[in-house]
Amino acid sequence: MKILFYMPHADAASWLYDFARVLPDAELREWQAGDTAPADFAIVWRPPRDMLAGRDDLRAIFNLGAGVDAILALEHERPGTLPRNAKLVRLEDTGMAPQMAEYVTHAVLRYMRRFDEYQMLQSARRWQELEAHPRETFTVGVLGLGVLGAHVAQAVAAFGMPVRGYSRSARQIDGVTTFAGEAQFDAFLDGVKVLVNLLPHTPDTGDVLNARTFSKLARGAYLINVARGGHLVEQDLLEALASGQLAAATLDVVREEPLPPDHLFWREPRITITPHISALTLREESVAQVAQKITALMRGETVSGVVDIGRGY
């Protein structure tokens, strides 16, 4: 069995070493430009088009992340790029769910307890108590109730504020009021104080964080975007902050990454930016999951996490 590996900015030698330990019969190699030699599987993160185009020998492509938007964009831009019969398999949790829960609960509590404002008061050397946000109306709405969104919604609910969740198909999650499908979108948004985005980036979800969406939230609401920059209409965020419809935003993802030095977001004190780190791909957990799925596919078994290309996630 031949396996190609490609992950920019990663320590490829360590990844290949770890895969070799759990798949001792595999011939593993790091893909280099021009390599068209046969392969059965590809393990990739943001691969260049040349790596996948025309590789009809591939049985499966394993994406070293939860979001497959970068790979699907290759196909969208030039149909026929992805190998015809290869399954596209994404990571499922592999330690990302607890990281995402830490990141989002930290941001929600920071806003609920007004630590963002206390930080600004400290900068101004002002000792001033602010009125607390009432927990019972500090409603948190989570867009996307998949592997990560469901975990995050439950983690936030443990702190006692009302939590809502929104997905495409109906979901039931203890302690979370759920909404499904476009017909229930406005009811989900109505009066939400913190909107958390954990949707995949697909043709249906691009630009979902826009002026209309913000207008349905409680006045002075907060936005936490940990999914993709393409979900957010950046100008609409700046205008919502200027009008007071939104009080602040935490953005782990932006349209252009890294965020350009002259971008307005850097200068807006109500926007908190982190460099796409809310849930990192962990090597040990990811190697174990991918290796287990490769072994299952070799035995002719089915695996979970296979992307529905038409749906986009």
Query: Which of 220, 249, 251, 245 is closest to 133 using CA atoms?
Result: 220
Using an 8 Å Cβ cutoff, are 3 and 39 in contact?
Answer: yes
Q: Least distance (Å) from ligand OXD to the CB of residue 281?
A: 6
Is 276 catalytic? The answer is yes
Strands 60-63 and 140-143: unpaired
Using an 8 Å Cβ cutoff, are 180 and 168 in contact?
Answer: yes
Quick check: 162 binds ligand OXD (CB under 6 A)?
no
Q: Least distance (Å) from ligand NDP to the CB of residue 133?
A: 26
At residue 17, what are phi and psi to the nearest 5 degrees?
-60, -45
Structure tokens at 243: 């009008």
Q: Which positions lie near ligand NDP, rule CB under 6 A?
A: 65-67, 96, 144-149, 166-169, 171, 198-202, 204-205, 226-228, 252-253, 276, 278-279, 313
Rank residues 26 and 227 by Cβ distance to ligand OXD and give the closer one: 227
Helix axes 96-112, 115-123, angle to 10 degrees: 60
Is 76 catalytic? The answer is no
Quick check: 66 binds ligand OXD (CB under 6 A)?
yes
H/E stretch holding 284 reads helix 283-298
Binds 111: which of ligand NDP, ligand OXD, none (CB < 5-8 Å by kind): none
Q: Least distance (Å) from ligand OXD to the CB of residue 228?
A: 7
Binds 278: which of ligand NDP, ligand OXD, none (CB < 5-8 Å by kind): ligand NDP
Rank residues 67 and 149 by Cβ distance to ligand OXD and give the closer one: 67
Instruction: Work out the end-to-end distance of the chain between its first and last CA atoms, rounded to an integer number of angstroms.
Output: 27
The residue from 276, 283, 299, 311 that is catalytic is 276
Rank residues 164 and 228 by Cβ distance to ligand OXD and give the closer one: 228
Using an 8 Å Cβ cutoff, are 115 and 104 in contact?
Answer: no
Residue nearest to ligand NDP (CB): 146
CA distance 161 to 154: 11
Active site residues: 228, 276
Residue ranges binding ligand OXD (CB under 6 A): 65-67, 281
